[in-house]
Amino acid sequence: MAGIRITRIDGKKVCDLGDSATQNFEDSTKPQDDRRIRATLYRKQQPWGTVDFYYHQPSNQASTPQLFLVSSLAVLCNLIIFSVLLRRSLAVLDTSKVVPTRVKNTLNTIPDGVVIIDAEGRVIVVNEAFQKSTDMTADELIGSGLEKIPFVPLESILPWTDPEKSSKTKNGVKAYLQRPDGDRFFTVGCSPIFDAEENHAGNLVSFQDITLLENQKRKIELTLKELGESKEQLRQQNEKLHELASKDMLTGVFNRRFLFEHMEHHWSTSLQQRLSLSVVMFDVDHFKKLNDGYGHAVGEQVLRDVSAVIRGSVPDNAIVGRYGGEEFCVILPNLDASLATQAAEKIRCAIQTKLEQPYHVTASIGVASNLADVTSYQMMIDRADKALYAAKHSGRNAVKCWSVEVETPIPGAPVHKPSTRASSRSSTQPTPALNTEKEIATMV
């Protein structure tokens, strides 16, 4: 019958197995013999206790099988204890101390951050560049996961969290890390590491610091945005300047210079495409009397009201301009003399109706179109002006379309004199075409 006793270093018995009543266990100073075996137990490289094995054997007779059994049991116990101690040691093992110095030195020469993680995602190797980028030490990083560091992906997902990280390499993923001294931007790559049996053992993760490049990119984007805003402001200012240059400040319609530019354009188009073109001349009746009786402020308001009524009554493609003083001119593309006369009559009625109070404002109107014998737009304007004079002579507040009768003076009627505002009224003869923009500007 065999027995086992485990005793701590301080002499306290831990357990007895088998025949614990034997006297051989009580005498700890008795040397070992063929019936009693003692082994020392260690913990953390320090003696922890002893284990004693005792078996019965007839005197003067050795039993080889029993001795082998006891020896095997002792070896098994030591293996179990050794395995427990080894597992605990590995759990707290500092991997940074077992990585060869030459490997660490090689990784530290790489300017980009390099991290090696195991299959479970725990950091086992990290170089100095990564520590500097994250402002963390190797002791803080090793043994933990990269999720401890608050990286934010700018696209896709962080590669070391990708389900395919064990089989595929993924590069070029942008991520940033918020830091008190400013955000740091990285291009992240992740490659799998395999063991000798081609099993996934971990991943090598690289971090290329692109903070400087990203900051420059953002500055360029901001500059381009500011340039775009400046360009838009410049465009708006140019539009305002163009409007100021092209519009009459009092009435808001085109001034005389730009009226002639539009007239020249539409005249050329009508010749090339054989389209109808008409022009309508307006003159506010008794404007001088109104101006003298009520003052210039009232006269200016009447001109603004007349221009507003004209703009609200003409077709959308019509061009309205102030010809001079109390005179207005309207260009009517694609309308012949008959349709232009109808449009003019509509405007005349609108002026009479809407401006009846308080000054009884009316207008006399003359119409002309690009008939076959008209050789220039100045000639067409001259004919509209003569028709306007005929409307005034007939009693005002009327519309007259140019005809041969308009050219024939009525007996006893006052002679039509040239206007100081329009050189086109100088005679009944056709006015030669202006050949250059300089001549048009001089006329204006």
- CA separation for the pair 200, 33 (Å, rounded): 53
- CA separation for the pair 242, 237 (Å, rounded): 8
Which 8-state DSSP code applies to residue 33?
Answer: B
- CA separation for the pair 259, 279 (Å, rounded): 11
What beta strand segments (E) does 66-199 contain?
113-118, 123-126, 151-153, 170-177, 184-194
User: CB of 170 within 8 A of CB of 195?
Assistant: no
Active-site residue flag, 326: yes
Structure tokens at 413: 């009627």
- CA separation for the pair 67, 5 (Å, rounded): 16
- CA separation for the pair 346, 313 (Å, rounded): 7
Catalytic residue among 214, 261, 326, 327: 326
- CA separation for the pair 330, 314 (Å, rounded): 8
Cα 284 from chain centre: 55
User: CB of 125 within 8 A of CB of 95?
Assistant: yes
- CA separation for the pair 397, 318 (Å, rounded): 22
Burial annotation 320-337 (CB, 10 A radius, 16+ → b, else e): bbbbebbbbbbbbbebeb
- CA separation for the pair 444, 439 (Å, rounded): 9
Q: Give the catalytic positions in this structure.
A: 326
